[in-house]
Every structure is written in C-alpha cells, then in structure tokens.
Amino acid sequence: MEQDKTSAENLIKIDRYLISEDYGFVLPHPQTELPSYFDPWMEIASNLSQLIENCQLHSKVEKMPLLSTHALTDYKEQRLAHLALGFITMGYVWQEGSDKAQKVLPETLAVPFCKLSEILDLPPVLVYADCVLANWKKKDPFGPLSIENLDVIFSFPGGETSKGFFLVSLLVEMAAAPGIRAIPKIISAVLHEDVASLENALQDVTSSISKMQDAFKLIHGYVNPEIFFNTLRIYLSGWKDNPLMAGGLLYEGVWKTPREFSGGSAGQSSTLHCFDVLLGIYPNLECGSTAAYLQSLRDYMPASHRAFIQAIALGPSLRHFVLAAGNDSLQEAFNSCVSALVALRDYHIQVVTRYISIPAGKQKHRGCLFHNAVVTFPEKGTGGTSFMCFLKTIRDLTKKAQLLDV
C-alpha cells in the first residue's frame, strides 16, 4: 500500500510536467532572440503592427525564404519560434479584416510552422501558451514582476491594449502558481489522510485564486474595450466553424486540404482546468456538453501541461475524502476554494459584458454586425454568440460543486 501511495505522489510532482514552482504554467524567462538565420521571421514578427498598418505584411511574407527548423533544438527556442510564426500567421490571415480572411497560408510560413507544431505537440495556430505564457520579458531584469516592469515580445495592432491584454493574463497566471504547487500537497495529504495538511493546502489554493482575481482587475486600467473588441479580438480568432473559411485554412506545402483550428482562448489555460478537475467541478463529460468543449481545448495546451491535468484526474478523489472525513473545518476549506472560483468566474462574466457585450451592442446600432459575423473569438465552439450562456453554465457548474452540510 505505501508503495502505491509513493508512486501516486511521484505521478503528481510538478517538475515532471515543465511546471515551475515560482511561475506555474508560465514559461520562466522566455527566450527573446533566435540565431540570426531566423532574422526573416523575427523581423516580421517584431514589426507586425507596422507592417499590417502599412499593408506590407503580405509581400514581406511572400518574399520570406523557406527556412529549416533543424537548428531549433532548444525547447525555449522552439517555443519562441512557434510564438513568432503564430503571430505572423494570425496577422497574415486577418490583416484585411475578419470579412476578407486569407484562405491560403504560404508554404514559407506553413511548412516551418507545422514542423515546429509537430515537435511541440501544439496546433499550427497561435495558442494561449504562445501569446501569454511565452510572450513576456522584464524591462529591467533586476526589477519586479509588476505590469509596469513587464513587456511583451510580440503584439498585434491595438497598441497598449494588445500588450495589456496579454500582460494582465500573464499576471493572472503568475498569481495561480502557489495554487498549482499546492495540488501535489493536497493529493499527498489525501493519500496519507492528513486532514491538517490538507486544510492548509486548500487554503493556499483559495488564497491563490483570490490573488488571480486581484490581478484580473488590472484589465480596466490597461485594456480599452472598444480597441479590444474592434481590433485585437479579430487577430485572436481562429478558422474553425468559420462560415467564410469553410474547412479552415489551407497550409500550403503541408496538407492538400484546408484544416480547422480554434483561435486563442484562455479556455486553453491549464490553470482553471487543474482547479476544476481537483474540485470535481464537472464530473460528466457527455458529448457536446460545455465540459466536453472545454476538454477539447486541452489539445491546444503544451503536452506536459495536458498530462498534469490528466494525472490529477487519475488521482484520489478530494471530494470523496472530504465528504467521508465529516470534518466541518475541512469541508469549509474545500467550499472556500469553490467559492473563490465562483467569484473569479462571476468577475470574468462582468468583464466580458464590458469588453464584448456592450461594444457589440453599440456596433449593432451602427448596423455593421456583419463585420462581426465571421470573427470567432469568442470561439464558435462555444455555440457561436452564446458564449455568455457557456460562461454562465460553467459558473453554475462551479457553484454546484459546493459540499452541502450532511
């Protein structure tokens, strides 16, 4: 029996999954430069907004040489290259607006992007793990991890709003780190039936989720709703279930038929998936359900992060242990975690109302909703414009996870 516990504890150690004690799922100190051979990619990615605004991006990409990815052997270099090609790809597809999407990705972009995606087990589209987790640097290397001392490596049109959106998301992810590193402690405490340690670790998760919400509040000072809705959101969109890109995007020189991929979404963030699985938020994954859609987004996460979520799912049930323990203060500690997650999702819904629902209402009055029709952030996968229903469903599923007094 002791051996089973030890192997179960080894299965959940975070360093096995490229998860950082200090940064959680955030890539610590991302690479910001590639060998000069890759200058054609880095010059375009680093000047994307200007190239788009001057209508020079298409010609720059079409003149790009077909580079080999062989020289990219270091993991952080591979992440930086996937990030750069992801930004160039989104810019190339959407630069003329959501109603004039490019349907073919030139092979000078498609071939290396798909090769790198295969190496990293990521899809050939800009994912959350690119533009948030690997897209940051400190302005003053000796300064603090504050938004004032952070910058992005690449950004889209939308200036400070584009940077702010990615940096606020990054700070939310960094605030999650103490909660993520508490997960192995929770699973070990359940295996050893150690109620005191379990209660402490659950309090760490609650405190971490509360600090995530504090970081989230920065959004109002760094992201402008109109610029987010009318500019940045377009570039985050994907080509899945998109009426104007039937079948998706044609990756020239890779596949003979177009392929569909979802756009970037924090639904691809491993953080909330971990807390949801740990707390048993959505037990049923019936096909076509909200939970099944969220589960499908795990294919857009780094493979090691996806595996960590699966390891939590295969571990002992925290809910069952807390229910069986019949200990009031332990049950209170569990319910505090759930309440913090409900509060975070409630706050997120308020933000979505300010940054999508209200600007969309203004656009409808301006009579150009079509412009909106093919944008897929929020993802069509959540049932088109019923993203609010999707978000409220997940919030309500979270509420239901509260353990009621027996």
Ligand X SMILES: Nc1ccc(Cl)cc1-c1cn[nH]n1
Binding site for ligand X (CB under 6 A): 128, 131-132, 169, 236, 264-266
Subset of residues 192 to 231 that bind ligand HEM, contact rule: CB under 6 A: 216, 219, 223, 228
DSSP character at residue 298: G
| CA-wise closest residue to 266 among 321, 216, 194 | 216
Residue 307 or 351 having the CB closest to ligand HEM:
351
Q: How many helices (H) and strands (E) does the chain have?
A: 21, 4
Q: Applying CB under 6 A, which part among 87-95, 238-246, 343-351, 363-371 lies near ligand HEM?
A: 343-351
Residue 130 or 204 having the CB closest to ligand X:
130
- Give the residue closest to ligand X by C-beta: 264
Subset of residues 229 to 268 that bind ligand HEM, contact rule: CB under 6 A: 265-267
3-state secondary structure of 250: strand
Contact (CB, 8 A) for 156 and 90: yes
Residue 131 interacts, among ligand X, ligand HEM, none and using kind-specific CB cut-offs from 5 to 8 Å, with: ligand X
State both tokens at 108: 């000078």
Q: Applying CB under 6 A, which part among 78-86, 239-247, 298-306, 390-398 lies near ligand HEM?
A: 390-398
- DSSP H helical segments within 233-317, as ranges? 233-235, 270-279, 290-296, 303-314
- Shortest reach from residue 182's CB to ligand X, in Å: 23
- Shortest reach from residue 233's CB to ligand HEM, in Å: 8
Residue 79 interacts, among ligand X, ligand HEM, none and using kind-specific CB cut-offs from 5 to 8 Å, with: none
What letter represents residue 219's amino acid? I
H or E element that contains 138: strand 137-138
Contact (CB, 8 A) for 221 and 348: no
Q: Applying CB under 6 A, which part among 54-62, 117-125, 134-142, 385-393 lies near ligand HEM?
A: 385-393
Q: Is 166 in the site for ligand HEM (CB under 6 A)?
A: no
Residue 305, CA distances (Å) to 78, 202, 280, 311 in order: 16, 21, 18, 10
| CA-wise closest residue to 238 among 116, 390, 381 | 381
Residue 264 interacts, among ligand X, ligand HEM, none and using kind-specific CB cut-offs from 5 to 8 Å, with: ligand X
Q: Applying CB under 6 A, which part among 42-50, 197-205, 326-334, 346-354 lies near ligand HEM?
A: 346-354
In angstroms, the CA 315 to CA 1 distance is 15
Q: Is 340 in the site for ligand HEM (CB under 6 A)?
A: no
- Shortest reach from residue 227's CB to ligand HEM, in Å: 10
Residue 98 interacts, among ligand X, ligand HEM, none and using kind-specific CB cut-offs from 5 to 8 Å, with: none
State both tokens at 246: 């039937």
Instruction: Provide the b/e sequence for 303-342 (b: ≥16 CB within 10 Å).
Output: eebbebbebbeebeebeebbeeeeeeebbebbbbbbbbbb
Residue 25 interacts, among ligand HEM, ligand X, none and using kind-specific CB cut-offs from 5 to 8 Å, with: none
- Shortest reach from residue 381's CB to ligand HEM, in Å: 8
Q: Which residues bind ligand HEM (CB under 6 A)?
A: 168-169, 172, 216, 219, 223, 228, 265-267, 269, 272, 345, 348, 351-352, 355-356, 377-379, 382, 387, 390-391, 394
